[in-house]
Amino acid sequence: MNEQKPKPTRGCFFYGCITGLVLLLVMLVGLLLGVHYVKKMFNEFTDTKPLPLPVVQMSPAEIKKLHERLDAFDKALKEHRAAEPLVLTADEINAWIATSPGGQSATGKVYVTIEGDQLKGQVSLPMAEVGLSIFKGRYLNAAATFNLSFQKGVLHLTAQDITVKGKPLPTVYMQQIRQTNLAKDADNDPETKASLERFEEIKIENGKLIIVPKKPESDAGQPPAVSKPEVEEKKEK
């Protein structure tokens, strides 16, 4: 049935995080090209083969239930109905990437993990995809730790530590990268912007991604409900 098909619009937020990872890699390549010893960087920072990333093991029934939960959350927000916070594990995020139209282009190239309050990611990106012919046939295999926050409707995704081919990225590069919000272009996509406007809070906590929706406007500012006995008591007075 069509109702059970995953919807690409639903994944705007998650794909925005993936896009942030890709933007990081593009920026990294730009920094490398600014170095005079390009040949040295060619061998030091890229590989001839992609890095095999882990594959999430979830049954079809579990994946179906995940999509149904995401659909229900998305539908409630679009219909301006109250919804409980959406809580996702790293496995669920990776399963969504692998099975949703909006994330399939990142399958096998991005893998997300969450440790405590830290968001981490592994990436294996073909350099040809960023339009750099000098790196044709080469792959950037990297891992990074990110800070994720959501302030006044603006998503912030910043890289704190990056390793390439198992080696930490030099401090001179990290100083600039740490100051860059990799999700700064989220507002440029209408669907992503519309999704973010429905959220009150986005955070990484206790090994999970938590998305807290805004309360429907119809509920905001309403006085607390008065129980029937209280109403009858006021009438008697």
Which structural domain, as residue segments, surrounds residue 68?
2-236
- Per-residue b/e over 139-155, b at no fewer than 16 CB within 10 Å? bbbbbbebebebeeeeb
Q: How many domains does the chain have?
A: 1
Look at residue 164 in the predicted model and tell me its pLDDT.
85
Q: How far apart are CA 214 and CA 71, in angstroms?
A: 17
Q: What is the pTM of this model?
A: 0.75
Q: How far apart are CA 38 and CA 141, in angstroms?
A: 18
Look at residue 36 in the predicted model and tell me its pLDDT.
46
Give the closest residue to 145 by CA, choosing from 160, 129, 134: 160
How would you write the pLDDT of the chain (237 residues) with one tens digit per residue? 444 444 444 444 444 454 455 455 555 555 555 544 455 666 777 888 999 999 888 999 999 999 999 999 999 999 999 999 999 999 999 998 888 776 666 778 889 999 999 999 898 878 777 555 666 788 888 898 989 899 888 888 888 998 988 888 878 778 878 888 878 777 777 877 888 889 999 999 999 999 999 998 765 555 444 444 444 444 444
Look at residue 57 in the predicted model and tell me its pLDDT.
85
